[in-house]
């Protein structure tokens, strides 16, 4: 992974000191709530219902074990001994006290971590495929480009006060696993005649106006990527709406101008920026790529006969992924189960996972967009041993990619924006659908829950999406189906009138029964939906109900 240099470290120390001073000025009254707000947000600090929430950046989801252990230690010392993995691959602390935040930042800086730009109207943490560098279908490793973007966007002086937040994702594979169609800018890396190029999508995003990104440029040479991104951001910063925060994202600007006029404006800006200081030299690209050279894989591994054990086999089929390197698999550790919020992980579990990674996966871990942890480089012959240890720590749930590997925002229990509490719904679903055989038989199914239309739980792109809505002060849930992420990204269709929380497990059961009753052999939920359409699902759910 990228190793911090002296300048990166100095920047974190300076930033921690700067925030310490800003916090001091806020606490002694020199800075008003309003003046402090953008400053704390750009350091990932929210004031929430229960306590402040601090979001720790995990650049493109990649961490070493020292960093993971430090997060565990911080969560124990300054919080309640657990943390939460967000859909942007970051960690969140739900209960830190404001006066300790500067100290937390100092401790994070010791392991090259920070909270910079994890919130606020600025360029946020760039996300990517959790299988970057190891995926069997990868064309270009996206991590060097993510690192390039991290450096460019970190404390960029021009883009810290944008009309609204700005999110980017990079994919380097044939199959998009980074949701690039649902980002302000999505970048698909390509290769042609030995050259790397970037297909640029713009104006995607979920939130209250879900939009699939549109192609802005089919091929930007990688050497010109930063000047091109700078041109896009400049046009957005100058022309994006600031009068209404719900219409301030770049997708609204692109839609209002039209993609062609927007492209012209970008090209005009780009003319002045192209071939300037931002041009990526081949030496710099090489240096970035060398930060992500493959670990010392063993090349002579014998073919492993997997032990016969039905529970292990199910886990193997669901939670491990084909690897570029023969003899290795990538492993998903699912952070969802009874009694804990999706994505929550305890300090003990983090330390255990760090030990496992040191032992079996070259000392690196990843957070995934699905709110799980990935160990990317495990020898096949070590998988059974790894699974046994995961079992001992309650982390061997074999439901990666299944119904109960659901994505959920923290919802109304923690978040001051939410209309509804998403966590009890997630828990009710876990309780209702806990039969491992049934879940395995259902096959891949994305269920995503958001507590409000800001869509942090990505409900629009779930095969089944659940959205918390407020009706005259009471919480209800709207259900949509048919959404999906990846190459064919689509927004789900709303099924009909919303339901109370207590009805949700039954509604889902009816949707699943409809799928099972209609599916052809080997057909997944989404394939059946595509073939038979929304009507049979609608009829099953609303038959004999009063609304």
Partner 1 sequence: MPTHVTSNKAAPISADTEHCGLAANDAVNPSIPSLGEWLTQPNDSRLRVTTADDIGPLEGLIPSINYVEVDFLDPNDGRGFTLGRQLRDMGFTGELRATGAYAEDQLQYLHRCGFDSFLLPPKIDTETASELLRGISVTLQPSTFSERKVIFNER
88 sits near partner 1 (criterion: CB under 8 A): no
Those residues whose C-beta lies under 8 Å from the C-beta of residue 535, and which sit 6 or more positions away, are none
279 part of the interface to partner 1, by CB under 8 A:
no
Task: Work out which of 15, 167, 247, 329 binds partner 1, going by CB under 8 A.
Answer: 15
Is 35 a binder of partner 1 (CB under 8 A)?
A: yes
Asked if 152 touches partner 1 (CB under 8 A), the answer is yes
CB of 123 to partner 1, least distance (A): 11
Helix axes 504-518, 535-542, angle to 10 degrees: 140
Residue range at the interface with partner 1 (CB under 8 A); choices 44-52, 152-160, 316-324, 435-443 = 152-160
Q: Which residues pair with 337 in a beta bridge?
A: 340
Q: Taking a C-beta distance cutoff of 8 angstroms, is the pair 102, 23 a contact?
A: yes
Whose Cβ is closer to partner 1: residue 242's or residue 324's?
A: 242
Whole-Å CA distances, 330 to 79, 236, 306, 323, 395 = 31, 38, 16, 6, 15
238 near partner 1 (CB under 8 A): yes
- Out of 48, 151, 289, 313, the only residue in the binding site for partner 1 (CB under 8 A) is 151
Q: Is 38 in the site for partner 1 (CB under 8 A)?
A: yes
Give 170's contacts (C-beta < 8 A, 6+ positions apart).
60, 126, 127, 128, 142, 145, 146, 149, 178, 180, 186, 187, 188, 189
- Count of positions on this chain that bind partner 1 (CB under 8 A): 34
Instruction: Considering only the stretches 9-17, 393-401, 441-449, 497-505, report the one whose residues sit in contact with partner 1 under the rule CB under 8 A.
Output: 9-17
Site for partner 1 contains 237 (CB under 8 A): yes
Report the distance separating Cα 408 and Cα 426, nearest Å. 7
Phi/psi at 462 (nearest 5 deg)? -80, 150
Could you say which of 33, 260, 277, 522 contacts partner 1 (CB under 8 A)?
277
CA distance linking residue 375 with residue 220, whole number of Å: 32
d(CA 275, CA 282): 14
Q: Is 234 in the site for partner 1 (CB under 8 A)?
A: yes
Among 82, 91, 159, 515, binds partner 1 (CB under 8 A): 159
Nearer to partner 1, 38 or 505 (CB): 38
Residue matched to tokens 């994702």 = 169
Torsion of CA 11, 230, 371, 205, to 10 degrees: 150
One of 70, 75, 121, 480 touching partner 1 (CB under 8 A):
121
Among 99, 137, 158, 191, binds partner 1 (CB under 8 A): 158
Name which of 43 and 450 has its Cβ closer to partner 1: 43
Q: How far is the CB of 411 from partner 1 (least distance, A)?
A: 27
Binding to partner 1 by residue 157, rule CB under 8 A? yes
Token couple for 352: 């255990």
Of 43, 84, 155, nearest to 340 by C-alpha is 84
Beta bridge partners of 47: 52
**Site stretch for partner 1 (CB under 8 A), options 5-13, 101-109, 405-413, 449-457:** 5-13
Q: Is 291 one of the binding residues for partner 1 (CB under 8 A)?
A: no
Q: Show Cβ contacts of residue 398 under 8 Å, excluding neighbours closer than 6 positions.
A: 311, 314, 315, 318, 319, 334, 436, 440
Binding test (CB under 8 A) with partner 1, winner from 20, 49, 136, 156: 156
The answer to the question of residue 314 lying near partner 1 (CB under 8 A) is no
Q: Which residue stretches of 338-496 are H helix? A: 347-360, 383-392, 422-432, 436-442
Min dist. Cβ of residue 59 to partner 1 (A): 12
Q: Which stretch binds partner 1 (CB under 8 A): 92-100, 233-241, 321-329, 470-478?
A: 233-241
Q: Which residues bind partner 1 (CB under 8 A)?
A: 7-8, 10-11, 14-15, 17-18, 22, 35, 38-39, 121, 151-152, 154-163, 234, 237-238, 242, 272-273, 276-278
């Amino acid at each position: 992974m990228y190793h911090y240099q002296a300048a990166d470290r100095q920047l974190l120390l300076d930033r921690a000191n700067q925030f310490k001073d800003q916090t001091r000025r806020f606490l002694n009254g020199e800075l008003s709530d309003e003046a402090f707000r953008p400053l704390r947000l750009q350091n990932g600090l929210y004031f929430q219902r229960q306590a402040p929430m601090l979001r720790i950046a995990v650049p493109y989801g990649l961490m070493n074990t020292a960093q993971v252990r430090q997060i565990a230690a911080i969560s124990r010392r300054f919080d309640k001994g657990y943390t939460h993995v967000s859909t942007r691959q970051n960690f969140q602390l739900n209960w830190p006290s404001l006066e300790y935040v500067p100290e937390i930042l100092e401790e994070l800086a010791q392991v090259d971590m920070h909270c910079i730009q994890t919130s606020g109207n600025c360029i946020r943490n760039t996300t990517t495929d959790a299988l970057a560098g190891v995926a069997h279908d990868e064309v270009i490793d996206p991590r060097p480009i993510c690192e390039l973007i991290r450096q460019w966007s970190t404390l960029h002086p021009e883009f810290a006060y944008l009309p609204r937040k700005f999110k980017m994702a990079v994919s380097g594979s044939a199959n998009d696993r980074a949701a690039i169609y649902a980002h302000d800018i999505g970048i698909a890396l390509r290769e042609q005649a030995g050259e790397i190029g970037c297909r640029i999508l713009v104006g995607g995003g979920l939130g209250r106006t879900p939009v699939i990104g549109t192609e802005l440029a089919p091929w930007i040479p990688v050497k010109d990527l930063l000047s091109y991104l700078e041109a896009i951001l400049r046009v957005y910063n100058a022309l994006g709406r600031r009068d209404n925060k719900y219409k301030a994202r770049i997708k609204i600007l692109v839609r209002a101008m039209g993609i062609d006029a927007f492209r012209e404006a970008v090209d005009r800006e780009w003319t002045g920026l192209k071939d300037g200081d931002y041009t990526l030299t081949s030496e710099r690209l090489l240096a970035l790529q060398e930060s992500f050279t493959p670990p010392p894989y063993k090349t002579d591994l014998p073919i492993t006969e997997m032990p016969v054990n039905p529970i292990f086999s199910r886990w193997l089929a669901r939670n491990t992924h084909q690897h570029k390197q023969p003899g290795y698999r990538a492993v998903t550790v699912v952070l969802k189960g009874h009694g804990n919020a999706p994505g929550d992980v305890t300090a003990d579990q983090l330390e255990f996972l760090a030990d496992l990674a040191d032992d079996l996966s070259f000392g690196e871990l990843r957070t995934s967009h699905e709110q799980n942890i990935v160990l990317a480089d495990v020898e096949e012959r070590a998988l059974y041993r790894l699974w046994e240890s995961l079992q001992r720590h309650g982390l061997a749930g074999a439901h990666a990619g299944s119904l109960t590997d659901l994505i959920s925002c923290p919802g109304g229990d923690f978040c001051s924006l939410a209309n509804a509490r998403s966590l009890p719904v997630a828990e009710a679903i876990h309780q209702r659908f806990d039969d491992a055989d049934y879940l395995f038989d259902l096959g891949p199914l994305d269920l995503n829950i958001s507590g409000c239309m800001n869509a942090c739980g990505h409900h629009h792109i779930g095969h089944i999406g659940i959205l918390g809505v407020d009706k005259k002060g009471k919480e209800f849930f709207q259900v949509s189906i048919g959404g999906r992420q990846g190459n064919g990204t689509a927004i789900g269709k709303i099924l009909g009138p919303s339901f109370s929380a207590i009805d949700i497990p039954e509604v889902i059961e009816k949707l699943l029964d409809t799928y099972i009753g209609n599916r052809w052999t080997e057909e997944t939920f989404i394939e059946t939906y595509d073939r038979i359409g929304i009507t049979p699902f609608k009829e099953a759910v609303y038959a004999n109900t009063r609304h």
